[in-house]
């Protein structure tokens, strides 16, 4: 199976997180962008400040690779107004996919109206600009019941407020890949969490992000029903190797 059109090749580290200089971090991002172009991955997922650079490289290469970026990353605690401003800038710079970090902490505290407001407003903004919108629920921060409830909440909001032809462009996504877990527990997608998301987000598509390390794991996720896989080890996975990438 050629899985490249499922892969969102991802580089989201800041220079500080990578332990390198700003210029070196830009060079790493450029390498990821060029690799996505060369390998014909579905998408390159990068930080908002790198979107313009990616757009320039992709246009110059006459490539069909899409550009994705993260909004309110990685904690999702900002107001929906701030998320809207950040996403509008990303749209203006050439982003195709907007991966919003859902305010899962507000959800856990029972502040459901906060979550509903950001999902409705930010999703509308993305769709109005013909973009793909993804909502990262951060499964490692939630228990099983919360994963089910938040997946269903997003689905129900979308189905109640947007047309059916929009559903395929509104994803529920598992993870940022940056959540710090205790006792070495998984901080990304697992088969168990993805099944819960698929069962409760449908008919919205699901993206498995973080935790997919091998071609076999990627195929297993695809066979379950995921439509995208986010990984910083896309080439290794596509080549049938084991990725040692962090997310």
User: Is 207 marked active-site?
Assistant: yes
Does 22 reside within a domain? yes
Provide the pLDDT for residue 59: 98
Q: Out of 96, 99, 155, 235, which one is annotated catalytic?
A: 99
Provide the pLDDT for residue 10: 97
Q: The domain containing residue 211 runs over which residues?
A: 4-238
Provide the pLDDT for residue 133: 98
Phi (first) and psi of residue 178, to 5 degrees: -115, 0
Whether the Cβ atoms of residue 30 and residue 57 lie closer than 8 Å to each other:
yes
The number of folded domains in the chain is 1
Q: Out of 42, 83, 207, 235, which one is annotated catalytic?
A: 207
pLDDT in tens, the chain (247 residues): 999 999 999 999 999 999 999 999 999 999 999 999 999 999 999 999 999 999 999 999 999 999 999 999 999 999 999 999 999 999 999 999 999 999 999 999 999 999 999 999 999 999 999 999 999 999 999 999 999 999 999 999 999 999 999 999 999 999 999 998 888 788 889 999 999 999 999 999 999 999 899 999 999 999 999 999 999 999 999 999 988 877 7
Instruction: Output the CA–CA distances (angstroms, integers) from residue 123 to 65, 120, 172, 236, in the order listed.
Output: 22, 5, 12, 33
Whether the Cβ atoms of residue 234 and residue 187 lie closer than 8 Å to each other:
no
User: Is 99 marked active-site?
Assistant: yes
Provide the pLDDT for residue 187: 84
Q: Out of 42, 83, 173, 235, which one is annotated catalytic?
A: 173
**Residue 20 belongs to domain with CATH number:** 3.20.20.70
CA–CA separation, 186 and 139 (whole Å): 9
User: Is 31 marked active-site?
Assistant: no
Provide the pLDDT for residue 247: 77
Whether the Cβ atoms of residue 82 and residue 57 lie closer than 8 Å to each other:
no
């Amino acid at each position: 199976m050629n899985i490249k059109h499922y892969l969102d090749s991802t580089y989201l580290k800041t220079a500080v997180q990578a332990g390198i200089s700003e210029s070196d971090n830009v060079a790493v991002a450029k390498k990821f962008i060029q690799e996505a172009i060369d390998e014909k991955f579905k998408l390159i997922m990068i930080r908002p400040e790198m979107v313009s650079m990616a757009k320039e490289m992709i246009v110059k290469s006459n490539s069909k690779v899409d550009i994705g970026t993260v909004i309110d990353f990685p904690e999702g605690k900002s107001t929906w107004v701030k998320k809207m401003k950040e996403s509008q800038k990303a749209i203006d710079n050439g982003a195709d996919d907007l991966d919003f970090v859902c305010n899962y902490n507000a959800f856990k505290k029972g502040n459901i109206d906060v979550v509903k407001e950001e999902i409705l407003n930010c999703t509308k903004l993305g769709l109005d600009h013909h973009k793909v919108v993804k909502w990262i629920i951060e499964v490692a921060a939630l228990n099983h019941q919360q994963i089910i409830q938040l997946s269903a909440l997003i689905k129900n909001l979308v189905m109640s407020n947007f047309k059916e032809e929009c559903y395929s462009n509104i994803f529920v996504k598992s993870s940022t890949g940056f959540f710090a877990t205790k006792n070495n527990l998984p901080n990304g997608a697992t088969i168990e969490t993805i099944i819960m998301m698929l069962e409760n987000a449908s008919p919205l598509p699901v993206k498995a992000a973080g935790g997919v390390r091998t071609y076999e794991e990627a195929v297993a996720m695809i066979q379950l029903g995921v439509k995208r896989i986010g990984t910083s080890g896309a080439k290794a996975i596509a080549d049938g190797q084991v990725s040692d990438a962090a997310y």
